[in-house]
A and B are shown apart, each in its own frame.
Chain A
Amino acid sequence: MQVAVRVSYRLRNKMKSYHDIVGDGGSGILEQVAEHRTRIADGLAGVRHLVAVGSGKGGVGKSTLTLHLAGALRARGLRIAILDADFNGPSQARMAGVQGALFVPGSHKVSLPRTSNGIGVFSMGSVIPESQALEFESAAQGESQTWRATREFALLGEILGSFEWGALDLLMFDLPPGAERTVQYADFLGPCTSFLLVTIPSEVARGVVARSVAALSKGPNRILGYVENMSGYYCRDCNAIKPLFMSSETPRLGIPCLGTVPFDPELARFCDGGISFAELGDTTIRRALDDVAQQLLESLI
């Protein structure tokens, strides 16, 4: 009976719909979300290029390439920062040597920790020890599948809006694995963010990267190209690059190849020890990374 009365009341009076009402009655949620967006945009106003390094596949060397491409670009005199967006498996803090970084409050924002060669780095690895996993308080007592991604993107927004990114030529995002995550980051970071994808000479990896290409191609973000990492391994004894994977087929990803980088155990040691690109010396790997950095720069022009 009550329902019938209400329905007839609505039909008679044409009650207001959601969009007829200005504001939200005082909760201010939409305004706060808009404020967060403005704060992010203001914080990134001095950044010329936003480049997200992704893949879709885990373990292909996204973080290693991100850090060392940043090093190669920094060596060219560019102002570079890295945001390690892999909050659940952050590796940039260790690799960049900023695990014990001090966070100093500036006049309005937090100063960004820097590597010895001047690359600004934010990584959750500077905040949380490696022996601990990232956890959030939850009213839902678990059930993280229903809210976790939203919380992580809110955290990303907080980081973008709260740190002093300043004037940069390039801000590089080291993305977590997952083809769907790559697209979520594209949506969050907006159409001005370009993507660099990383693969390895394995059909499995190429297949996953191809899915990322397909997913990103539906949106407005530019895909700069891909880098084939672990493209053979560098044998220091022979001073030669030898095959690492049996696959010899050229990837058909439909995007430009910005270069190939062989695997080098010495580079892995540098990463574990937080040793910078500047100390790499004139090696085959450094030249390969330099070539990719040059291609990356040219693709951004």
Chain B
Amino acid sequence: MKFLCVPCDTPMKLQSVGPPERGSLSIVYSCPECGYEMAMLTNAYETQAVQSLGVRIGPEGGTKTSDASACPFAAMIPGTEDGQAAEATPVRWTAAAEARLANIPEFVRPMARAGIERYARDNGCLEVDEKILDAARDFFGM
């Protein structure tokens, strides 16, 4: 979808995206020529239609149409609670290991985190680094 400022005949630019509120997004566009602003307020069907494409909307592509921090299947995945591993002893993750975890799809992230932490504990480690990830990969024949 594109927006055109009719008096200026100029394409409008996306300025901001409000977080989803009761299924509605508030997306503000402005005309770079005259500065006129307008907001597109989506209904739940329109929000869902974009959300279903698995894309983000925003000036820097940074606002996801759903809660970006939540795994959509978190409640269904065993051994996780709100996307976090429900284990007693905390396991630290190095920045590099976290970065690798961030590369994988949200829907397997909680499960991957829980499984790797279990593997680390089983091997007497309380920190997950890239070596642990590679060792787990080898151990499970991947």
What separation, in Å, do the CA atoms of A102 and B44 have in the docked complex?
36
Size class of B's contact patch? Answer: 35 or more
Chain A window 1-28, contacts with chain B (Cβ cutoff 8 Å), 1 for yes, 0 for no: 0000010011001011010010111111
Given known A-B contacts A29-B50, A102-B119, A139-B44, A114 and B61 have beta carbons under 8 A apart: no
Please give the number of chain A residues whose Cβ is less than 8 angstroms from any Cβ of chain B in the complex: 58
User: Any chain B CB within 8 A of the CB of A248?
Assistant: no
Query: Nearest CB to that of B70 among chain A residues?
Result: A137
> Smallest CB-CB separation from A15: which chain B residue?
B9
**In the complex the two chains form, is B111's CB within 8 Å of A33's CB?**
no
How far apart are the CA atoms of A128 and B50 in the complex, in Å? 25
Nearest residue, chain B, Cβ from A143: B45
Task: Using known A-B contacts A140-B45, A147-B48, determine if residue A21 contacts B11 with beta carbons closer than 8 Å.
Answer: yes
User: Does A36 lie at the interface of the complex (its beta carbon under 8 Å from any beta carbon of B)?
Assistant: yes
Residues of A within 8 A of B52 (CB): 147-148, 150-151, 154
Counting chain A CB atoms within 10 Å of each CB, which of B45, B58, B107 scores highest? B107
Say whether A157 contacts B54, CB under 8 Å.
yes
- Decide if B18 is an interface residue (CB 8 Å cutoff): no
List residues of chain A with CB within 8 A of the CB of B51.
Answer: 137-139, 147, 151
Q: Within B1-35, which residues are at the interface with A (CB < 8 Å)?
A: 1-4, 6-7, 9, 11-15, 20, 23-24, 27, 29
A137 to chain B, nearest CB (A): 5
Query: Can you list 8 A-B pairs, Cβ within 8 angstroms, ordered by A?
Result: A9-B6, A24-B1, A25-B13, A29-B53, A32-B55, A106-B100, A110-B105, A132-B76
